[in-house]
Amino acid sequence: MVGVSTSQGEFHAPVVVNAAGPWGAELAAMAHVGIPVEPRRGFVMVTEPVPPTVFHKVYAAEYVGDVGSGDAAMQSSPVVESTASGTILIGSTRERVGFDPRMSVEALRLMAGSALALFPSLAGVSVIRSYWGFRPYCSDHLPIIGPDPRAPGLWHACGHEGAGIGLAPGTGKLLSQLLTGAPPGIDPAPFRPERFEDAA
């Protein structure tokens, strides 16, 4: 029988989709299967509102390398963008330190310094807050989407790392096509949950 047991009772369904983001491995383990999803922590700083200064999202070239890195140690590369309210968002860092919820002064120092190198006019602008989150990192940097042959009834849609908001519509579409037996719009093979065992 396929279903979930929750604090609100038991629910049964033909399929359960693991969409637990950085907790995806934890949820998969409840069904006794392994997927290599881990939290990859990232910080963001928010400035006070300023007159129009940053008109496009701007990032340094090393950002691309940092995204593709599998290093557990902290990587930092500047990403600067403004919001409609005039605040400026400054990123970015990446590190695999588990679900460590502590603020990192080092991360803030690195982000502020590299953002100033891109936009010297931000000197003197106050940072009003900072926050962090955990990207659902997968060791090959691809999400895990589709049925898990090791646990019939369990499907996955997790491991989207730092692009899960942008990739959400495509993931939803692919998942719905696979679930209904419609021809998939893209090849689902690269996202197969069991691919890590194939590679072992």
Using left for φ > 0, alpha for ψ between -120 and 50, and beta otherwise, residue 78 falls in beta
Smallest distance from the beta carbon of 115 to ligand FAD, in angstroms? 14
Residue closer to ligand FAD, measured from CB, 27 or 125: 27
Q: Where on the phi/psi map is residue 21: left (φ > 0), alpha (ψ -120 to 50), or beta?
A: left
Task: From 59-67, 98-106, 159-167, 192-200, give the range in contact with ligand FAD by CB under 6 A.
Answer: 159-167
Q: Tell me which DSSP letter residue 95 carries.
A: B
Determine, following the binding rule CB under 6 A, whether residue 39 of this chain makes contact with ligand FAD.
Answer: no
Among 34, 65, 133, 185, binds ligand FAD (CB under 6 A): 133
Of 107 and 122, CB closest to ligand FAD: 107
Determine if 156 is a binding residue for ligand FAD (CB under 6 A): no
**Amino acid, res. 66:** D
Residue placing its CB nearer to ligand FAD in the complex, 71 or 121: 71
Question: Residue 22 or 147: which CB sits closer to ligand FAD?
Answer: 22
Identify whether the C-beta of residue 130 lies closer than 8 Å to the C-beta of residue 44.
Answer: yes
- For every residue of 82-118, DSSP letters joined together read E-TTS-EEEEEEEB-BTB-----HHHHHHHHHHHHHH
Question: Is 80 in contact with 118 (CB distance < 8 Å)?
Answer: yes
Q: Which residues bind ligand FAD (CB under 6 A)?
A: 19-23, 27, 42, 44, 133-136, 158, 160-166
